[in-house]
Structure 1
Amino acid sequence: MSVASTEDVLSRWLPFRAYTGAEPGALPLYCLPHAGGAASAFRMWQRRLPGVAVQPVQLPGRESRHREPPYERMEPLVSDLADTVLADVEASAAGRRYALYGHSLGAIVAFELIREIRRRGGPAPVHLFVSGSDAPHLTREDGPPVRDMNAKEVAELLRTLGGTPEWLLSDPDALAMIIHAVQADFTVKETYVYRDEPLLDLPISLLTSSADPRVSPLKAAGWSTLTSAHFAPYSFDGGHFAVLEQAARTHAIVAEALRPWV
């Protein structure tokens, strides 16, 4: 792949790559959004973590990539994402060090991304942060497939979860702009199959919320069984998006965990 084509790929997956505000050599933190979410969910995290270059990830089918078809399966998603992260890590001045943050579906994607990079012999992240998600081996989607829902049903699901402006859910034209990505992302989750592999050898921080309608505290705690390294749980008051709504506390947790690396 030429330098020009590599830069084009990185700019599509990491649309705010040039705006981190971080000094050279800062630790990249790749942030993976929730189902239907976009890179803008983490845009305001940039310049909030000293020594850390926050890199919000943009998946196809939304915002700057709205013309691209979204993924509907985990395997091709993490394969292409691994290409991007490894290329960016190699290009950074952080000495092949990086960290991952995933919220909701993004937590499962981050977990599988680490395992894909490990299979390739690439560098593991120094830390994994997960929020809004049951552990991968315990997650289940018991309701009707979101891909089979009509627009009204999808809007009601998003309304229950919170985090989506009511004006968007109430406007059929606006909803039509995001519904395909939402349904595709939920299909990634609904068709996901966990497979046993060796434990991760890196610390995991788990951020849960007291009133999250899609996460079981017991199943979320299962993340602790997926690493042989340190595990740190944190609890927030609020719903599915409490970690984004209470960003200052989330930033403090992330900054403290990454302190040895920045």
Structure 2
Amino acid sequence: MTDPERWLPYQASAGAVRLYCLPHAGGSASAFRSWIGAVPGVSVRPVQPPGREGRHRETPYEHMRDLVADLAEAVLADVAESGGGPYAVYGHSLGAMTAYELVRRVAAVGGPAPVHLLVSGCGAPELCGGLEGLVPIRQMTQPQIAELLRRLGGTPEWLLDNEALLGLVLPPFKADFTVKENYRYVPAAPLTVPVTAVAATDDPRASVADVAAWEAHTSAGFVLNTLMGGHFAALEQADLTRKYLASALAPWR
């Protein structure tokens, strides 16, 4: 049995609906720590994948199916422990892909469906597999990975220039990008869960059109919100993102 406390490192705050937040590749639960208590009526639950922060001694996943199998178990256990109330799932970039596959996994095992799926920084699932034109990340040298991170954005330059510190953060980053490289979308019927998406106008990894393509993956309603900025705009403009999330979850708050 998967221990939910390993996946959910922060104590649950008050809120009528729980929101499980999944980080981007190489990211951690701390990316959403400041969100706790910042969305009225919502108990923000940052998710901690293995291989980082308090779970740094654990081996990260390299395949989506293994990741979502254990994550679904942890989320469903936490939902049951909370009394079985409504919950939603949000993910940014790789976290959005994981959130989508998590919803599918929950349905496959007969668990209670979330009331909403929220995604940002990621095109529709059929557009997100692999890293076309790049050497597999497992074959890259540390300088090559540093240059990749520099091009992707979101990693401070002082960290990229420090070989010792960079070496500490590379294992989860490599594993997460291996998950992405190994991911192959398997077509399925649209979700019966509403979807809210956040796109950024200048995101080189997920255009507004690619994010808008999520609409085909739900039969329960779709809303697209747009921010000015690049790939990490949803995190950099967290106040606006939380506003969109709060609006999407208004019926359950």
Query: TM-score higher than 0.5 here?
Result: yes
Match for residue 51 of structure 1? 41
Deviations 1:76-101 (CA, angstroms, capped at 9, x unpaired): 100000100000000113x3310000
Structure 1 residue runs without a partner (length 5+): none
Amino acid at match of 1:207: V
Deviant stretches of 4+, over 6 Å: none
Q: How much has 1:219 moved relative to structure 2?
A: 2.3
How many Å separate the matches in 1 of 2:73 and 2:152? 31
Match for residue 87 of structure 2? 98
C-alpha contact 1:96 1:123 (8 A) present in aligned 2? no
Deviations 1:53-106 (CA, angstroms, capped at 9, x unpaired): 10000000011101101000011100000100000000113x331000000000
Match for residue 236 of structure 1? 227
Match for residue 6 of structure 2? 12
Structural mapping, 1:94-243, within 5 Å: 95-140=84-129, 141-142=131-132, 143-243=134-234
User: What TM-score results when the alignment is normalised by the length of structure 1?
Assistant: 0.92
CA RMSD of aligned residues (A): 1.3
C-alpha contact 2:8 2:45 (8 A) present in aligned 1? yes
C-alpha contact 1:36 1:182 (8 A) present in aligned 2? yes
Q: Point out the more displaced range, 215-224 or 197-206.
A: 215-224
Amino acid at match of 2:111: G
User: What TM-score results when the alignment is normalised by the length of structure 2?
Assistant: 0.96
Identity over aligned pairs, percent: 54
Match for residue 88 of structure 1? 78
C-alpha contact 1:100 1:128 (8 A) present in aligned 2? yes
Q: Does 2:11 match 1:22?
A: no
Amino acid at match of 2:17: L
Secondary structure of 2:249's match? helix
Q: How much has 1:154 moved relative to structure 2?
A: 1.2
C-alpha contact 1:101 1:130 (8 A) present in aligned 2? yes
Match for residue 245 of structure 1? 236
